[in-house]
Each structure stands twice: as C-alpha cells, then as structure tokens.
Amino acid sequence: MASAGNGKPALLLFRRVDPTFSAALHSRFRVLDLYASCGSLDAFIASAAADADPLRAALVAAGGPVRVDAAFLDAVPSLRCVVTTSAGVDHIDLAECERRGVAVAGAGKTFSVDVADHAVGLLIDVLRRVSAADRYVRRGLWTAQGGYPIASSKVGGKRVGIIGLGSIGSLIARRLEAMGCVISYHSRTPKPSVPYRYFPDARALAACSDALVVACALNDATRHVVSRAVLDALGPRGVVVNVARGGNVDEQELVAALREGRIAGAGLDVFQNEPHVPQELMAMDNVVLTAHLAVFTEESIADLRDLMIDNLEAFFHGNPLVTPVRLQV
C-alpha cells in the first residue's frame, strides 16, 4: 500500500534492532525510529502523530519505553496495527486496541522451544548447583577446601508443577517428563488432551510439587500468582523457576522465603523491575539469575525478524496477520 514520503508505508519503531533487522525494515518501510531521533519519547510521538501518512503500524517490545494503552493510542490516533517482538503482551491494552480497531500481532510460538530449554536448564542448575559449583572452582576453593559440599538434588523423579500449560509450558513438561519427572499443572482451565494432573489453584499445585515452574502469561489473574501462600505450600525443599514475567511472582515474598529457608532455591530469568535485581538475590548461592534472555538464540532472532516483517507486510497489504493476538474473555 503506497503512502506519503518515499512511497513506502510508515512504520514507527519503538525498540532497538540489530543491523540486519534494521536493514530489512528500512528496505520495506519508511521507518520512523525512536532511537534515531534526537528528542524525547513524547516529542517523537508528537512528531509521528503530525506525519502526513494516515495509515501506519508500530513495532514495540515488552519492557521497552512504550505501553500501548489509551493514552498512547490517543497520542497517535492514526495507528492501526501494533506488532510486538515478545510472546507476552502485558504491555499492550488488548481491550483498548480491540475497541479502537487496532490490530495486534505477537511473536507467536517463535520463542517457545528456546524458553522451554532455558527453563529446564535453570531447574537443573538450581537442583544440581551447577553455577554455585562453578563459582567454587573459580575461586580456588576446590584446592583450598576440598570438594564442593554435597548439596545438590537429582532431577529425575522430582514432582514438577507447571503454572501455565500453553505452548511453552507443554514443551517444558515434555522435556522434564523425558527426564523422569512427574508433571502436574495449573492453568485457567483443565486441558483434557494432556496426561498430567490438573490443579485448580496454584497453592494446591505447589503443595504437591518439589519444583514450581512459572510459564504463564501476565494478566490480572496471574499477577503474583506465586504468593507467600504458594511459596509456603511448596515448602523448604522446593524450588521456583520463573521464565514468564517478573510480575507473576511476588518478588518481595520470594526473597523473604529464600532468606528464611522456607524454600530451597530459585532460577529466575525475569524480574519485577528489570533490569534491577534485588541485591539480596545476588548474594544467594542457591539462586541462579539470568538477564531475561531465555528467548534469545541466534536462530530465534532470525525467525523473529522474518515473522515481524511478515506480520507488517500482511497488515499493509490488507491481509490477515500471521500471528494475531486477541483479547481472551
């Protein structure tokens, strides 16, 4: 679809992209890039709103500078499509987008395999104390104090509760089941097609689990789904792995439970106030921390680039989005 300017449709870019991704976008669209502008976010949005092109899409990221809400949509009333590079959409007000006729596309299942692998890796690391033992060796303590204390726990046979049995949660379940774990789950509704035991609430799931893996979307129903009550139900030998969103876990209660020995450990890829991580977690040897990188592999980034462009081109040509996101009711 032709547009003002150089004949390419206008795209508002609200996230940093690598040179390959940038070149692919610029070859197809007239890119209005927040990070290439000299002004503030508000000034950039005001400039975009005054642009002559009446039909445009925006490329945004979770954790980026933009929350797509009523105020943002008011500021850019010509926006008709939002494409996010994340699987989660808690930074987008889907109800408001639907009300205004703004289409939304997400990353779909692009990251599912990589996030599942990372979740399993975190669980293995926490249980077997891989990172802690690595630090022990690097500090020269093997020579000075002898072998690392036997503090690890085997993975096989563990009862693993998964919160959220979507595409990521299902892949985590299959991987851990193959390792000899017993899988149970909690989700919004039971899934008759799966062979795992369903629990109607997270506390009941935790009470019957040795490890709790959080793989659900973040919304009003799942914010702080891992609460003090859930952590206490998990108990002093239990561990928590979170590869979903920081807000799914009550971070303050998690820190307290780890500090007081009410749970045994945690593997965390996401945090409530990223990139800020509670200092207490930094000092805990039974906690494994990664920088919200579960989704990122060379392969997933290439797949994401192609998918984002496919969604944008579908929108500008009036075709259905490849990975549409719709409001769940």
Residue 113 has pLDDT above 70, yes or no: yes
Q: Which residue in the list 118, 245, 251, 305 is annotated as catalytic?
A: 245
Is residue 6 very low, low, confident or very high in pLDDT (cuts 50, 70, 90)? low
Residue 329 has pLDDT above 70, yes or no: no
Q: Tell whether domain 10-110+298-316 is in CATH 3.40.50.720.
A: yes
Q: Cis bond leading into 324, ω under 30°?
A: no
The residue-averaged pLDDT of 240-245 equals 98
pLDDT tens, residue by residue, 186-224: 999 999 999 999 999 999 999 999 999 999 999 999 999
Give the distance from CA 298 to its chain's centroid. 17
3-state secondary structure of 203: helix
- On the question of pLDDT at 184 being above 60, the answer is yes
Listed residue (206, 203, 193) closest to 159, CA to CA: 206
Helical H runs in 194-297?
202-207, 228-234, 251-259, 279-282
- Axis crossing angle, helix 298-316 with helix 19-28, rounded to the nearest 10: 10
pLDDT at 15: 92
User: Using one digit for the tens of pLDDT, what is the confidence trace for 262-313?
Assistant: 999 999 999 999 999 999 999 999 999 999 999 999 999 999 999 999 999 9
pLDDT digits (tens, 9 = 90+) for 64-103: 889 999 999 999 999 999 999 988 899 999 999 999 999 9
Q: And the tokens for 112? A: 């599912």
By the 10 Å C-beta count (0-12 exposed, 13-18 middle, 19+ buried), 2 is classed as exposed
Residue 245 appears among annotated catalytic residues: yes
The two tokens of residue 13 are: 């870019």
Which of 28, 159, 223, 292 is catalytic? The answer is 292
CB 175 within 8 A of CB 146: no
The pLDDT of residue 1 is 37
Residue 39 has what pLDDT? 80
pLDDT confidence tier of residue 2, bands split at 50, 70 and 90: very low
Instruction: Return the higher-pLDDT residue of 51 and 318.
Output: 318
Provide mean pLDDT across the span 20-39.
93
Active site residue 292: yes
Percentage, residues of the chain above pLDDT 90: 89
Residue 5 has pLDDT above 60, yes or no: no
Rounded to an integer, the average pLDDT of 243-249 is 97
Closest CA to 12 of 63, 53, 69, 40: 53
**Mean pLDDT computed over every residue of the chain:** 94
Q: Catalytic annotation on 274? A: yes
Q: What is the mean pLDDT of residues 24-53?
A: 90
- Burial (CB count within 10 angstroms: exposed 0-12, middle 13-18, buried 19+), residue 57: buried
Look-up of token digits 């003090």: 228
Residue 183: what pLDDT?
Answer: 98
Among the four given CATH numbers 3.30.500.10, 3.40.50.720, 2.40.440.10, 3.40.50.300, the one describing domain 112-289: 3.40.50.720
Catalytic residue among 67, 135, 274, 299: 274
Domain borders along the chain are 10-110+298-316, 112-289
Of 169, 186, 182, which Cα lies nearest the Cα of 233? 186
Work out the number of other CB atoms within 10 angstroms of the CB of residue 248. Answer: 27
